[in-house]
Structure 1
């Protein structure tokens, strides 16, 4: 009987151990932070046409134009919008700080959180380097985590600076600047300043016609 009792005790201990280990693994998975990576795309991810907006969150023209551009993209079936940071020196530290904040929103909460942060900044900022009062309120993201990321995450700062350098290398120095990309051919066209729906559709038609003319040749 004692031998049976010992075996039973060992079996119970093993079962308890497995339960505890499982709980710890699950708890660890829940507590382990999940980070998201861009590029931050608004609209269908596999669209043929990608419109990249080079923008500054302290740019008054971007503040007015970006919501209109998003609304237009939402109505299109085969177009998406991609953001590229271009904080201008004339807008000082506010533009760089806000760029880090929205980038961290995406890193902590994904694509929806990124665009939600962009919308909030544009809705609240006084523009031209004056920024806004208070803090961003993003669903599912703790304000302290957002602030820690925006102030201390070196990778985020490097990423924003790299996008700024790439824009400068491509001759893009003003915001907003739009680049329309045909994902099938890799051909692009650059549009400086706020491009309305007619201009955007004309750019897409021009790229499509070039493909057709080349295929006939």
Structure 2
């Protein structure tokens, strides 16, 4: 199954994030990445890859499944945004599945299909493959960012992040 890519796949700069929907640091970076996408537009593409830290985030894998299930109905990015924007509402919820079905309703998805897709083996395999790939390239925490294939130290601010992208565009 293909990666989730937003923006021009042939852009001069590619930003790849390995992320966990339940990770507070990932949620903190979410608005920064969105702002970068707005600023750089077609000059930068953004790829999201799953890296659920299930051992510490009990709803991380289910959240990834919810995003993938929404993606089957053309709404991956909308669910991606909703999961990060509402992270505190579901992250420690004992019935996160019910919350995610509510999000599917808000996104006007076929909720019966969405609920069935939450158990699809191929989606679980895709998430596991993203995770395995991340481990194989040395990722041990989230978020982890790559710019044009090179792992970067997580920027401390939007300005620092913007500078990294701008420098790559100038090369």
- What TM-score bracket applies, with the shorter chain setting the length? 0.7 to 0.9
For 1:195 and 1:128, locate their aligned partners in 2 and report how far apart those are by CA, in whole Å. 26
More helix per residue:
1
Q: CA deviation at 1:71?
A: 1.9
Q: Secondary structure of the residue that 2:10 maps to in structure 1?
A: coil
Change in Cα spacing, 1:70 to 1:205, as seen in structure 2 (3 Å) is closer
- Conserved? CA contact 1:175–1:193, under 8 Å: no
Q: CA deviation at 1:43?
A: 2.2
What residue ranges of structure 1 are gaps of 5+ in the alignment?
Answer: 1-36, 182-187, 213-217
For 2:151 and 2:89, locate their aligned partners in 1 and report how far apart those are by CA, in whole Å. 25
What per-residue deviation string (whole Å, max 9, x for no partner) do you get for residues 31-71 of structure 1? xxxxxx63211223321111011110000111121122112
The residue correspondences of 1:55-204 to structure 2 (distance < 5 A) are 55-77=19-41, 78-88=43-53, 89-92=55-58, 94-109=59-74, 113-126=75-88, 129-131=91-93, 132=96, 134=99, 135-137=102-104, 138-151=106-119, 153-181=120-148, 188-194=149-155, 196-204=157-165
- Conserved? CA contact 1:51–1:82, under 8 Å: yes
For 1:129 and 1:165, locate their aligned partners in 2 and report how far apart those are by CA, in whole Å. 23
- Residue of structure 2 equivalent to 1:24: none
- Conserved? CA contact 2:18–2:48, under 8 Å: yes
Q: Which has the larger radius of gyration?
A: 1
> How does the TM-score come out when normalised to structure 1?
0.66
Q: Secondary structure of the residue that 2:15 maps to in structure 1?
A: strand
For 2:113 and 2:37, locate their aligned partners in 1 and report how far apart those are by CA, in whole Å. 31
Q: CA deviation at 1:128?
A: 9.4
CA RMSD after TM alignment: 2.4
What per-residue deviation string (whole Å, max 9, x for no partner) do you get for residues 164-213 of structure 1? 011011111111111001xxxxxx3212435534433443466567xx6x
> How does the TM-score come out when normalised to structure 2?
0.82
Change in Cα spacing, 1:107 to 1:128, as seen in structure 2 (3 Å) is closer
Question: How many pairs does the alignment contain?
Answer: 163
What residue ranges of structure 2 are gaps of 5+ in the alignment?
Answer: none
Q: CA deviation at 1:74?
A: 1.6
